[in-house]
Chains A and B, each alone.
Chain A
Amino acid sequence: MLNYLINGISLGSVYAIIALGYTMVYGIAKMLNFAHGDVIMVGGYVAFCTTSYLGWPVIPAVLLSIFVCMVLGIVIERLAYKPLRAATSLAVLITAIGVSYFLQNVALLIWTSNPKVFPNMVTLPSLVIGDLQISSVALVTIIACIIIMIVLTLFTNKTKMGKAMRAVSEDKDAAQLMGINVNATISLTFAIGSGLAAIAGVLLCSAYPTLMPTTGSMPGIKAFTAAVFGGIGSIPGAMLGGILLGIIEIFGKAYISTQLSDAIVFSVLIIILLVKPTGLLGKKVNEKV
């Protein structure tokens, strides 16, 4: 029982970190960035290549992976999404899907379809308390998740850049009038979101160590669900949504049916949304008439 809970929280923490990226981008650009899951995959591959082929130690490898993903995030935003800023949200959605296909197929060409087994990045012994055994990866994932949330909350609330971000998400035009560089702010958001994706990629692959060009897509969709679950646009919401989703998934598998675990996850999501139509911590936006 406790073991399941720990597993659930650890899986949920990965979802939460991915969901944070979704939520931030959504908050600023009001777009569902379906390519986010594939950035995770790229992050995983970069870390894999640097450690396995170049023999780098873990920390620089993870830092490089974060850096590469940040650059990738900015490039994607500049090339694919920026020209569509005035377009309908559906047009942006389709473009994001195009970017997702693009990244998957580039990865297929570079790294081939053969799965790679990700080296364990966390080589600490696992924690044993009585009957309970917590693997070090789970522990690191949970801690990383908490740290990221705290740092992000401080960043958006206390720093100038963070405030600029919130201003842009409230009202782009007004923010511009106040002298905020909207383009730079949006780029920054994508960079942060993609950097988080890289961390999520490393953690995801450490816990479930197979790496394929399609590795990111299902966690991506689940994390997207998690972001909506918690109320999209809200940072603590994404966190809460992710962790709850992970717990529900593991418990559903353990106590109801391994076959129907996804159906259970999505059913809970639907029920929550029916009771609270804007997610657990989402803001209620009043319509202007």
Chain B
Amino acid sequence: MKKKLLAILLTTAMVCSLTACGGDSAGSTADTGSNTAADTNAAAPADTNAAAPADNAADTNAAAPADNAGGSGSLTGTLNLGVIGPLTGPAALYGNAVDNGAAIAVEEINALSSDFKIELNSQDDEHDAEKSVNAYNNLKDWGAQAIVGCVTTTPCVAVSSEAYSDRMFMLTPSASATSVTEGKDNMFQLCFSDPNQGSASATYISENNLAEKVAVIYNNSDAYSTGIYQTFQAEADSIGLDVVSVTTFTDDTANDFSVQLTEAQNAEADLIFLPIYYTPASLIMQQAASMNYAPTMFGVDGMDGILSLEGFDTSLAEGVMLLTPFSADAKDDATVSFVSKYQAKAGEIPSQFAADAYDCAYAIYAALSYYADNNGGYNVDGVDYTELCEILISVFSDSNFSVDGITGAGMTWTANGEVNKAPRAVVIENGEYVGL
């Protein structure tokens, strides 16, 4: 009997504490949000309308034309913006980068004007479809009006179809598979899609005669990596690029690449295409160096970040080529300002994930401002997310709408959600990215 009593007691205690938690959560997040807003206000005096800092103005050509300060076309109210990404677990690195990048953009936007604010709420999805849908529902309860996310592909496919039937607008900074946007008009990408990257890489390698024989090492437990590989292979076949060795690894075996490298070496490949993230890529470079095997390494946007990897011997990455929309070493004002803010906030060099997220927040801001301009002002307060979704879809698919961000100038979107921006090939020389 005593045991039963104890069990009941424990359960009730647990449930009580849980319900208490549940009740609080909405309140507390809202608090943090308004705090940040207040902080930035204090930091930036009220006259920011008149004189927006130069670097911000550069980012938001379409967004904040000087003549609309206080005019009839102004954007007002507070937008509830949700972010979904893996903040814990093995993919936490990407989620945290996105979270920080978006937060910096939001702080800047909030400092621009006292009429329009963005409140940011980031939820963890642990890189899991189920948790991601939970995070999405949590954000809906909080009152999110649009979503920046999801960061990784698989969760994004799951959430975007929920959002599609709910009519919630989503803009992903980094989920690059075509299945993310396919058949969903509410879903837009700010990063290149996988087919773009795969075929662009194959074309680039063949047009510039970078290699006679190409080897590929990709992560076959990862949707991103497999997606790029498949389109790379298809394009390589059609343009006659000689792919001599294709080997794979999985997340569970991503530590020893001796076998894959030996195979590439035996096939006499003079270029290895690595459609993978930079962490395993750094291991491949190290192990190739210890084997005295020095082919050209060619990466995609996931390779970006390799130079800021803590403790990595950057001389190993010498001569690595990659297609990336963003490099933290660019010398333009917007990038320099973003990088310094990011370093102050997170203590590290931002990756392209952070930069894409930064642009995402600005793109949504730009889209709303664009709409406000053309419709004699717009107040986002209390607007239902379904209404906002239609507005944002119409603006993003509008061919006159473009955004200049740190990951590309004059970004436009197609109606099926893919972004148009120029991929930039860079090569690593003397420990720095140099544009080609």
Contact = CB atoms under 8 A, between A and B. Distances in A.
Interface of A: 3-4, 7, 11, 48, 52, 105, 108, 112-119, 126, 133, 135, 204, 207-210, 212-214, 218-219, 249-250, 253-254, 258-259, 261-262
Given A117-B310, A258-B260, A262-B250, A214 B279 contact: no
B258 interface: yes
B259 A208 contact: no
Looking at A117, A213, A219, A250, the one whose CB has the most chain B CB atoms below 10 A away is A117
Interface stretch (B84-92, B179-187, B382-390, B428-436): B84-92
Given A52-B311, A116-B311, A258-B249, A11 B256 contact: yes
A135 B290 contact: yes
B286 A209 contact: yes
Given A135-B290, A208-B255, A259 B88 contact: no
B203 interface: no
B256 A258 contact: no
B88 A108 contact: yes
Contacts of B89: 214
B256 A208 contact: yes
A226 to B, nearest CB: 15
Given A52-B311, A208-B256, A114 B93 contact: yes
A258 B92 contact: no
Contacts of A209: 282-283, 286, 311
A258 B90 contact: no
Contacts of B247: 258
Contacts, number: 93
Given A117-B311, A259-B220, A259-B248, A7 B258 contact: yes
Interface in B159-179: none
Interface in B285-329: 286, 290-292, 309-313
Given A115-B279, A259-B250, A262-B252, A133 B291 contact: yes
Given A3-B262, A108-B92, A208-B283, A250 B256 contact: yes
B283 A210 contact: yes
Looking at A11, A210, A213, the one whose CB has the most chain B CB atoms below 10 A away is A210
A210 B93 contact: no
A262 B253 contact: yes
B249 A115 contact: no
B220 A118 contact: no
Interface residues of B, number: 36
B309 A115 contact: yes
B31 interface: no
A212 B277 CA distance: 14
Contacts of B312: 117
A258 B217 CA distance: 10
Contacts of B252: 218, 262
B96 interface: yes
29 contacts: A3-B258, A4-B259, A48-B311, A105-B88, A112-B96, A113-B93, A114-B93, A114-B348, A117-B309, A117-B311, A126-B290, A135-B290, A208-B255, A208-B256, A210-B279, A210-B282, A212-B93, A213-B92, A214-B89, A219-B255, A249-B256, A250-B259, A253-B256, A254-B263, A258-B253, A259-B220, A259-B248, A259-B250, A261-B253
Contacts of B291: 133
A52 B310 CA distance: 9
Contacts of A253: 253, 256, 259-260
A186 to B, nearest CB: 28
Contact of A113 (B92, B220, B253, B311): B92
B2 to A, nearest CB: 18
Contacts of A259: 220, 248, 250
B258 A250 contact: yes
Nearest to B95: A113
A119 B256 contact: no
A7 B311 contact: no
Given A210-B279, A210-B282, A116 B310 contact: yes
Given A250-B258, A258-B248, A119 B253 contact: no
Interface string B328-360: 000000000000000000001000000000000
A116 B259 CA distance: 24
Contacts of A52: 310-311
- In the A-B complex, the 3 residue pairs with the closest CB atoms: A113-B92, A208-B255, A117-B311
Given A105-B88, A259-B220, A262-B250, A7 B279 contact: no
Contacts of B93: 113-115, 212
A207 B313 CA distance: 15
A32 to B, nearest CB: 19
A119 B290 contact: no
Contacts of A126: 290
